[in-house]
Structure 1
Amino acid sequence: MTSTHKNGLSPASVETIAGLSAGLISTIIVHPLDIIKTRLQVDTSSHPLLNSSRAVLRDILRNEGPTRFAALYRGLTPNLLGNSAGWALYFLWYREAQDVIRNLRGYNLGTQLTSVDYLAASSASGILSAVLTNPIWVVKTRMLSTSATQTGAYPGMIFGLRAIYKTEGIRGFFHGLTPTLFGVSHGALYFVAYERLKEWRKVSKKDQTLTNLDTIVASSLSKTFAGTLTYPHQLVRARLQTYDPGATKRVKGPGLVPLIQQIWRNEGVIGFYKGLFPNLLRVVPSTCVTFLVYENTRWALPRMFGNADDDPSNRTTVARKGERAL
């Protein structure tokens, strides 16, 4: 399943490198929007979404960091590590899960997976990657939700990991894991929609090849659909992962169910959607960049290392010759 072609890369290596590259590039581009989204998610007051986004941005630029650039890119290290590792693991296991499903169900070579198959493969890979990367997301949320000038704020990722272990133990690394696991449905819904849109587009074209524009449209529509439908889990997760940087010891906050009840009682339905606007501004272009880099990298690597016959993208061809570059 992961055999290597002579003088080439294995399909698993191609998937991992493509996912890693996609996660790194997309995270760097949209990181400032991630900070705005996180600040809105942990804010318990009620402001109009668009005005709050502007207010948060103004506050960050005026009052935080030694420079505006430093303020806008606070917490970049855990965000880069979490996204790149998460995407790399996700794409690796997503491919492996599809192969397992094909073998279990006795599909012939070239047989298209069903929506349920894609859902199962995406869910399995999502759960595994979510559990392994959750400690990074806890540190990331705490760094993005605080200013570097606040007393007790984490100055970096390693410091944050040590502080969590010292004050909260191993369990501290898994704050927000339950809503994260619920959030696997987001990835599952996204990939089902993404794969179906790609197949529909391929059928509607005579040569059945997908261009970069096709990838952008499919990923944008899929992300907007899945992101809006499952957004509340992100807000609940952020609330569970945040902390008081000025506290001398960790004060245990409400559990999952009491927190949901608290948000509903104090902020209403709109409380579950705080930060949705900057989140969509962040995730839609981020997803487009991610999948453009991913699809083009997984097309290019087998050709660069001499195993084009084992191209892992042969089930989802992406771009015509001459349209491969980003």
Structure 2
Amino acid sequence: MAGGESKAECDQRVARLWSRLGAKKKEHLDYNGLKKGLRKIDHPLKNADTMLQAIFRSVDTNGDGIIEYSEFRAFVDRAEQELWQLFKSIDRNQNGEIDKSELKAAFSKSGVTVSNSKLDEFFADVDTNQDGVITYPEWRDFLLFLSGYSSSDLHAVLSYYSATGNLNPEGDVHINDLQGLGTDHSFLRHYILAIRTFLHKFFPAHILTALLSSAHAETPQSAFARGPPVRDGELELEWLPIPRTVAMWMSFRYYEQKLTENTPQLGYFIAGGIAGAVSRTATAPLDRLKVYLIAKTGSPSPVVTAAKDGAPLKAAGRASRSLMDALNELWKAGGIRSLFAGNGLNVVKVMPESAIKFGAYESAKRAFARLEGHNDPKRLQPTSQFLSGGFGGMVAQCFVYPLDTLKFRMQCEVVEGGLKGNQLIAATARKVWNKNGIFGFFRGLPLGLIGMFPYAAIDLSTFEYLKRTLLARKAREHSCHEDDVPLSNFTTGAIGAISGGVSASVVYPLNVLRTRMQAQGTVLHPTTYNSVMDVARKTVQSEGIRGFYKGLTPNLLKVAPAVSISYVVYENSKRMLGLR
């Protein structure tokens, strides 16, 4: 027999597996029974529905919709023989063990390109006792159902593992979507801790301790166990004779994990908020200058006239003078304080905007996962992922849009000798409310929402193109796989700054129209508009096509410092908070 096992030992092992799958008291398994059995032993295939259906059809040789023991035994014999041959071909020194170097060499020899991180992850999952080598029993137990899915070669092994090996105990694929926010997703655990404190106030400690210890003591374990098994409402529990109170406690623990699995740790969230606040404050004068230039309307500037006359150097000189003239006007309106007008509102919205965007993004991912029929947010198609991100951005913008409107209008009401600070904010808010009610705070919102998807599409495609190009070049230089090329956070941030600048420039006309809709009727922008078409028509009439790009220069100038400052502050904030 394969691996030096006797026939009697093999018979006993297969019979035990058949029994553990739930077929002890019956002679067959249907599809639901097989799936239930795999959940019972916490096998990685327990939630891989598509793959499991293919395996079931392979085992059910007569196609009657049930698996007899004879069919199961024939499948196991065939699968183990294929896995034994593959194991021997990888084990170069024939010592009955596969080390990481042998596995890497085998992948390379078969033409399979696999990154070091993927290889380490696969090796760690197969090496169940973590002794640094893979024995045949470990190899066999992990890949037993491989032959029912595809041919048993290293290409198939990698494909099989990619679909099952990354499943966590709750059935979700383990992908660090929140790489920049940290990988310890325990933000809501602070709230769960409050619930636990509440329970301890109303129930004796010895009862809760007994419940918790019972839950741990009676949790079934297996060679595939990576944590407590999932218990959803569709899974019968006749195989787990536990008290109802313990089951309720374990359900509580399950939903605790479901609440926290996709939520960034509070420390990383705070670090990101600090970085955003400092970055926006540092670049506030440039943002203020941009809004000032957008709000100022009139005949074509000397810059445009010089450009039309074919004098680019003269136009560039006048452009710089125009920026300086604008800064002088802002300074006259209130000195240094005028340059930072509205920054408080801009900073206040950082945290809620990020939180709302993240929550809406996660909700959208789950909704699209249901539409795709697999209920797994981590297996979304690229289109669904893109739409989820766009939806998250739209929801966040709807919630913080009144603050944006208030900020723009406040900036356009700053005049020499006028109101300042909180008094100006309050007066501006009252003016909007008295004139248009709640709807006055949402003027121009459709333009912002319309621009969300083209901005995201251009940003994403540009970012991916630049990143792929850089990775390919570095991979050629270092003769390694692209996944093994290290990219620092600063490099990634620089790529993001470039892609963001490109996408912002493309959709900038929508930004100009939206800002003018929000700022209409103010001291700096007294013109009023009836509709989006009205603001577009008046912009063309007074300033030509170039009016749609007023303020673009300071908008682009703030990109590089904003990224650099955010990176430095974020890293130092993490260090200050004791985060990795």
TM-score range relative to shorter protein? 0.7 to 0.9
Partner of 1:80: 347
Q: Is this contact kept in 2: 1:219–1:288, CA < 8 A?
A: no
Alpha-carbon separation, structure 2, partners of 1:144 and 1:252? 17
TM-fit CA distance, 1:293: 6.1
CA shift for structure 1 position 43: 1.3
Q: Deviations over 1:165-214 (max 9, x none)?
A: 22321111111112111221324432454356456656644524430232
Aligned with 1:181 (options 437, 441, 449): 449
Change (3 A) 1:209 1:12: same
Q: Does the Cα contact within 8 Å between 1:74 and 1:148 map onto a contact in 2?
A: no
Cα displacement (A) at 1:242: 1.0
Retained in 2: the 8 A contact 1:19–1:88?
Answer: no
Structure 1 counterpart of 2:514, from 237, 247, 250: 237
For the 8 Å contact 1:122–1:188, the answer to whether it is kept is no
Letter in 2 for 1:55: D
Percent of residue pairs identical: 23
Equivalent-residue separation in structure 1 for 2:518 and 2:187 (angstroms): 44
Q: Following the alignment from structure 2 to structure 1, what is the Cα–Cα distance between the partners of residues 530 and 522?
A: 17
Alignment match, 1:12: 263
State the match for 2:430 in structure 1.
Answer: 162
Describe the SS at the equivalent of 1:272.
helix
Whichever residue aligns with residue 404 of structure 2, its letter is W
d(CA) in 2 for partners of 1:133 and 1:109?
26
Q: CA deviation at 1:264?
A: 1.7
Separation in 2, partners of 1:209, 1:107: 33
Coordinate RMSD, CA, aligned: 3.8
Determine the C-alpha separation between the residues in 1 that align with 2:426 and 2:492. Answer: 36
Gaps of 5+ in 1: 305-323
**Secondary structure of residue in 2 paired with 1:254:** coil
Query: Partner of 1:93: helix, strand, or coil?
Result: helix
Q: Alpha carbons of 1:73 and 1:43: their partners in 2 closer, same or farther (altered >3 Å)? A: same
2:392 corresponding residue in structure 1: 125
Asked if 1 retains the 8 angstrom alpha-carbon contact of 2:187 and 2:263, the reply is: no
Do 2:390 and 2:452's aligned partners in 1 also have CA atoms closer than 8 Å? Answer: yes
Structure 1 residue 220 corresponds to structure 2 residue 474: no
SS of structure 2 residue aligned to 1:227: helix
| Counterpart mapping for 1:292-307 below 5 A | 304=579
TM-aligned CA distance change 1:52 to 1:4, over 3 Å? same
Contact 1:134 1:173 in 2 (8 A): yes
Counterpart CA distance in 2 for 1:89 and 1:199 is: 30
Among 289, 292, 295, the alignment partner of 1:42 is 295
Report the counterpart of residue 282 of structure 2 in structure 1: 29
CA contact (8 A) 1:25 1:290 kept: yes
Q: Does 1:56 align with 2:326?
A: yes
Q: Give the residue type in structure 2 aligned to 1:232.
A: P
Give the 3-state SS of the residue equivalent to 1:12 in structure 2: coil
- CA distance 1:97–1:175, shift in 2 (3 Å): same
Indicate conservation of the 8 Å contact 1:94/1:121, yes or no.
yes
Q: Which has the larger radius of gyration?
A: 2
AA matched with 2:333: E
**Deviation of 1:234 (Å):** 1.0
Q: Which amino acid aligns with 1:69?
A: I
> How far apart are the structure 2 equivalents of 1:246 and 1:225?
32
Contact 1:93/1:125 (8 A) holds in 2 = yes
- Does residue 270 (structure 1) correspond to residue 546 (structure 2)? The answer is yes
Contact map agreement 1:119 1:189 (CA 8 A) in 2? no
* Higher relative contact order (Cα pairs below 8 Å, separated by 6+ residues): 1
Counterpart residue type for residue 227 of structure 1 = A
CA contact (8 A) 2:521 2:528 kept: no
Aligned residues, how many?
298
Contact 1:94 1:125 in 2 (8 A): yes
The CA deviation string for residues 266-309 of structure 1, in whole angstroms up to 9 with x for no partner, is: 21111100010011112343245447767x699889984xxxxx
8 A contact 2:412–2:522 mirrored in 1: no
Whether the aligned pair in 1 keeps the contact of 2:357 and 2:392 (CA below 8 Å) is yes
2:274–2:573 Cα contact (<8 Å) kept: no
Cα separation, 1, equivalents of 2:517 and 2:551? 16
Q: In structure 2, what is the Cα distance between the partners aligned to 1:298 and 1:190?
A: 27
Following superposition, the deviation at residue 217 of structure 1 comes to 2.3
Contact 1:33 1:278 in 2 (8 A): yes
Q: Which amino acid aligns with 1:149?
A: E
Structure 1 CA distance for aligned equivalents of residues 486 and 577 of structure 2: 18
Looking at structure 1, the residues matched to 462 and 509 of structure 2 have their Cα atoms a distance apart, in angstroms, of 20
SS in 2 for 1:147: coil
* Cross-structure match for 2:532: 256
With over 3 angstroms needed to count, the CA separation of the structure-2 counterparts of 1:193 and 1:96, relative to structure 1, is farther
Residue 59 of structure 1, CA deviation: 1.8
Report what 1:137 is aligned to. Answer: 404
Aligned residue for 1:259, secondary structure, equals helix
Q: Distance in 1 between matches of 2:562 and 2:461?
A: 18
CA contact (8 A) 2:366 2:377 kept: no
TM-score (norm 1): 0.75
TM-score of the two chains, using structure 2 as the length reference: 0.45
